[in-house]
A = this chain, B = another copy of it.
Amino acid sequence: MLWLRSCKLVLLQIDMGSTIQNPACQHCKDRFSSVFCKAEQCNLEQIDQAKVCSVYKKGQVIFHEGAYPFGVYCINDGKIKLSHSGDDGREQIIRLVKAGDIMGYKALLSNERYTATATALEDSSICFVPKDLFMSILQKDASLSFEMMRILSSELRKAELKITHLAQKPVRERLAETLLFIKETYGVEEDGHTLSVRLSREEIANLVGTATESAIRLLSEFKKDGMIELEGKKIRLLDLQQIVKTANLQD
C-alpha cells in the first residue's frame, strides 16, 4: 500500500513536466501563427505573466482522457498526439498538434472532462494558461473569441471530412492520405522528402484507423511501388504525385 502511494506520487511528478524559465510570449517564435497573435496586446501580457511553461519528455502524458481541465496548453516547441482510447483499448489518434497550436480548449469551452489524451511524440516545451484567465480574456477580447471560433470551425470541418473518408474509402487510400496529412502538419526534413516525425507503425495505424499489420503491409506495398522509402521509423515520400493519386482526393 505504501509503495503504491509513492508510485502515484512519482507519476504525478512526471505528469507535471519540469518547469523551466518562462520564455516571454512576446518573443515566442510562434507568436505570429498562434491563436494568441489575434489577442489584444494588453491581454497577451496578462497571459504572459500567468502562464507556466514546462518541458515534457517523449512519451509523457500532458493530460488524460477523463480528467478535468484547468486551463489550455499552448505548444511552444515539439509535437503532440491527441488520442481517444476506444472500448477495446485500441487508441484512435484524433489530432496532431504542433508548435503554435493550442490544445485542451474543447473540454474547457464545453465545460466537460477531457475526451482525449495528449501525449508528447518528442520532447516538447508547452505553456499552460490557467482556465480563469483564459475564460475571462475570452469574454472581453472579441478578436480572440473570433479566432477560437475559426479554429473550432476548421477542426470540425476536418473531422467531418475524416468521418466521410473513414466510412467510404479503403485503407489503402486513407493511408496515402494520412502520409500527406503528416507532411502537411509537421513538414519534411532538409532533404525535402523525409517526414520530420518518427511515428511507430502502430501510431500510423491508429491515425489511419486500421490494424497495425494492415498499415505495415500497405507501407511495404507503397515502398515496392516506389512511392516511399522506409528506413526504420523514417519515411521518405519519393513520388508525391503518385501518393496524391493513391489517396484519391477529390474533396
Contact = CB atoms under 8 A, between A and B. Distances in A.
Interface of A: 84, 86-88, 90, 92, 94, 105-107, 109-112, 115-116, 138-140, 142, 145-146, 148-150, 152-157, 159-169, 209-210, 248-251
Contact of A156 (B88, B159, B210): B159
Contact of A148 (B116, B149, B251): B149
B209 A109 contact: no
Contact of A209 (B107, B142, B163): B163
B166 A209 contact: yes
Nearest to A94: B160
A166 B162 CA distance: 10
A150 B84 contact: no
A168 to B, nearest CB: 4
Nearest to A110: B153
Q: What copy number does this chain have within its complex?
A: 2
A94 B164 contact: yes
Contact of A84 (B92, B116, B164): B164
A90 B168 contact: yes
Given A109-B153, A138-B146, 5 more contacts: A109-B150, A111-B150, A156-B159, A163-B209, A167-B210
Most buried by B among A88, A142, A152: A152
A163 B94 contact: yes
Contact of A159 (B138, B140, B146, B160): B160
A161 B115 contact: yes
A101 to B, nearest CB: 15
Nearest to A248: B87
B138 A140 contact: no
B110 A168 contact: no
Nearest to A91: B164
B149 A84 contact: no
21 contacts: A84-B160, A84-B164, A86-B164, A86-B165, A87-B248, A87-B250, A90-B168, A92-B167, A105-B153, A109-B149, A109-B153, A111-B150, A115-B160, A115-B161, A139-B146, A140-B142, A149-B149, A152-B153, A152-B156, A156-B156, A159-B163
Contacts of A138: 142, 146, 149
Contact of A163 (B112, B154, B162, B168): B162
